Amino acid sequence: MKFLDKYATEVEIFVNVCHRLAHNLYVTSSGGNLAWKLEDNLLLITPTLLNKGDISLEDLVFIDLHGKVVEGKHRPTGETPMYLKFFDVRKDIISVIHCHAPNVGALAIMKGKNWLMCPVYPETTIEVGPVPLVPYAEPLTQQLADNFGPFLPKYNNFMMESHGLVSMSRSGIRETLMLVELLEMSAKSILLALQVGEIKELGYQAVKDLGNTMRTRGLSLFGAPGVNKSLEELYFGGSPVFGGKRLKHEGHKGRNRL
């Protein structure tokens, strides 16, 4: 049986996500790509050089975790080295989306503070988490894939400098799309707030309390299993606020790549 038939339900969902990304203008031209791990050694992935709004079931590609095509009439996305890196380092990850959502893209080319490393909204804080800035590298290269290396163990969402965003999850591709949409709307709100005044961040205790919300909802911490100890440590390095000043906030200063 062909994988296209064996995974008919997943394939239909995958194509719908491609079309929704294009409809929302999160991908344009032939940009953006996505992948879904269906078996231990099988990825469903987008083809190269096709607009995601035009992709049909027959256009999809199945590859193994070495990048070899096992089914499909097209070549897989040119960003395949990036995906192989993701699924190699993060065995827990099921699906990944890379796109160019415009508001996150605006933050990706903006100098100064990386606001996506800061806790601003409860929903974004517990569902997306901090979003580090991965240094720029030429697209479609192994160097771009390698630049993710220091960040992959600790985070699930990434802003690519002067490029776009990557979101990954331990769930299916539709759930990962929801993270992309939440992150994009948060970025839009941040940009609007910056136009009219200063942004209020959630404090240490508020973030610590949101850890309770995550446990109530059954949400796991971001990053590879066991890497992060708590939500407040991830955002603040585990240090509370005294006299209105944080003792440590790794996502607060400069470009915040680490």
Specify if 76 maps to a domain: yes
Structural domain contains residue 19: yes
Given this model, what pLDDT does residue 253 score? 40
| Angle ∠(16,9,145) on CA atoms, nearest 5 | 60
Contact between 118 and 132 under an 8 Å Cβ cutoff? The reply is no
How far apart, in whole angstroms, are the C-alpha atoms of residue 19 and residue 27? 9
Nearest to 155 by CA among 253, 89, 78: 89
Query: Does a structural domain hold residue 185?
Result: yes
The type of residue at 109 is I
Q: What is the pLDDT along the chain (258 residues), one digit of tens a residue?
A: 899 999 999 999 999 999 999 999 999 999 999 999 999 999 999 999 999 999 999 999 999 999 999 999 999 999 999 999 999 999 999 999 999 999 999 999 999 999 999 999 999 999 999 999 999 999 999 999 999 999 999 999 999 999 999 999 999 999 999 999 999 999 999 999 999 999 999 999 999 999 999 999 999 999 999 999 999 999 998 544 433 344 444 344 433 433
Calpha distance 13→171 (Å, rounded): 13
46 assigned to some structural domain: yes
Rounded to whole angstroms, how far apart are CA atoms 134 and 131?
9
Burial of 232 (0-12, 13-18, 19+ CB in 10 A): buried
How far apart CA 202 and CA 195 sit, in angstroms, is 20
CA distance 11 to 125: 30
Flag whether 239 is in a domain.
Answer: no
CA dihedral 215, 216, 220, 221 (to 10 degrees): -50
For position 238, what pLDDT does the model report? 54
Asked, for residue 119, whether it belongs to a domain, the answer is yes
Looking at residue 88, its pLDDT comes to 98
Domain residues for 59? 3-196
Can you give the CATH number for the domain in which 157 is found? 3.40.225.10
- How many structural domains comprise the chain? 1
What pLDDT does residue 247 have?
Answer: 41
pLDDT at position 252 is 40
